[in-house]
Amino acid sequence: MRKNPIFRGAATALVTPLNENGVDYPALERLIEWQIAEGINALVICGTTGEASTLTDEEHRQVLQFSMDVAKGRVPMIAGTGSNDTAYAIDLTKFACQIGYDAVLVVTPYYNKTTQRGLVAMFTAVADASTKPVILYNVPSRTGVNIEPATYAKLAEHPMIRGIKEAGGNISKIVETAALVGDKLDIYSGNDDQIVPIMACGGQGVISVLSNVMPKETVAMCQKFFDGDVAGAMAMQMQYLPLINALFCEVNPIPAKAAVAAIGYCDNYVRLPLVTMEEQNRQKLLACMRDAGLNV
Query: Residues with catalytic annotation?
Result: 137, 165
Question: Three-state DSSP class for 214?
Answer: coil
Q: Which helix (H) or strand (E) is 141 found in, with range?
A: helix 140-143
Let me know: does 262 contact 296? Beta carbons within 8 Å.
yes
| DSSP for residue 108 | P
Rg over CA atoms, the chain: 18
CB atoms within 10 A of CB 169: 15
What is the distance between the alpha carbons of residues 181 and 11, in angstroms, rounded to a whole number? 22
